[in-house]
Structure 1
Amino acid sequence: MLSQSEWEKLNDLVITINNIRDSASMRTAFLQKLMNLIDFDFSEFDIGIIKKASAPQLVDPIVVSKFSKKFEEEFIYQYENVFAPMDYVNWVFMSPESLVYRESDLLNEEVRKQSPFYLNYLKVYDLVYISGIVLACQGRFHGAISLYKCERNGDFSERDVYILKQLQPHLHARFEADAETIRKNEKSLSYMLKNQFRLTNREIEIMGLIYMGSSNADIAKKAGIALNTVKKHGYNIYEKLEVQNRTQLVKFIIDKNLSGIWKEE
């Protein structure tokens, strides 16, 4: 199904997965090189987190596309803030194990094209065909790759899906290895936050609640402190870590592989 040169490109992608240790750099290089193998118009590679009794969340998106930065930001913003609850295949992110999917294989075409998610989001941005990879292991949601194509370029082919299936085990292994490293280093990571960045135990606790998506009001309730105290702790965390907002804090946590510090009861 693939030519010799295509197999060489695929092997280069595997090397990229294994050799670039920084998460954001690996995900960026991966999508850039994947574009040389699969013809897509827009792509994102997200880190996955899941809260107890809550839906999976996609955070820290890396985007590679044929569009402007403004288009990319608007497309991501609209999904995160408006259309995510309407996504008719977001159940794939709840898969207990890794998988490759093509949206057109999962949903009746007529039903899909009549849905608000398609009509008000995908159709508006002309990114109507989707394929991707969900990365998970034993119920732990590690991340997701989503590829999009414009209507004029047609749906993803069997060849495209085949390529994703070849890459999925290597991505799965990379994320499992990263997760195992985090689990082994949980105590030393907490020590690093306390000593290198001068965070207190309470600030580390609140940092984790912010990472898990809790609002300031929720944090106040869970931590048993006043709302103003939460805001003060948040300000101190941002100042010590030299970040400006929640988005940058989440990126900081992901880039430094700190997520394993916090485990929900």
Structure 2
Amino acid sequence: MSARSVASPVGSVEPVRRSPVGLVVSRIATMCLVELQKLRHDRTELITRGIQPALWLLVFGETFTRLRAIPTGGVPYLDYLAPGILAQSALFIAIFYGIQIIWERDAGVLAKLLVTPTPRVAMVTGKAFAAGVRALVQALVVLVLAALLGVALTANPLRLLGMAVTVVLGSAFFCCLSITIAGLVLSRDRLMGIGQAITMPLFFASNALYPVELMPGWLQWINRFNPLGYEVDALRGLLLGTPADLALDLGVLVVAAATMIGVSSALLGRLAR
């Protein structure tokens, strides 16, 4: 009797083998679903996280709009500021995502995940895009606030979709930067300190608050290597219609996010030792 004629036992289940791409997609979907469930169970987080961008828009934006101290090329300063605050909100969410990785290590969850067949790059990519989902929810809060304040935002669905892609890519980069720092310092306290130390310099070394032309030469040079600057430029072009090199901005964000995903994936095993 040939092997083909032997029937499989009744009730046996053939294990499903997924391709690496399928594992990455599955992990991304799972992480995004977890983040949405977290937000559903803790809706107060949306309110607390909305306080800071509201203060920036209401106090800083309204004040400097009346002062007219920063030339923005005919665009009201509040309109100019809104995309920068949106990018800042996403940055503040993603830059501390490494704390969750350290918590998973301390709870023994990370070690269990690393022995599964799931590639490390799939785990990191899933967490990166989960941070993007959380940032998108925060971005919606900022957009509603900006619209209530009279900011002339676009209603073009394609531009809004581009805005969502930009926010996710920027959040993915900064999330993986946080995971990379976590893999180096191995401590929540150190990660928190470093995160707080680099957040505001990243913000002020971008064009979120003022045009690049107003920066001193050395700060303009730093801005060229700051992914947040490219994110803000893309958001401003998409939401306001101001001149922007979207191909360059999105290209830089894609390369930066992919590079940081690779680096943080390589350091993920160091956390579990």
Question: TM-score, normalising length from structure 2?
Answer: 0.28
Higher relative contact order (CA 8 A, sep 6+): 2
Higher strand share: 1
Bigger Cα Rg:
2
Higher helix share: 2
Question: TM-score, normalising length from structure 1?
Answer: 0.28
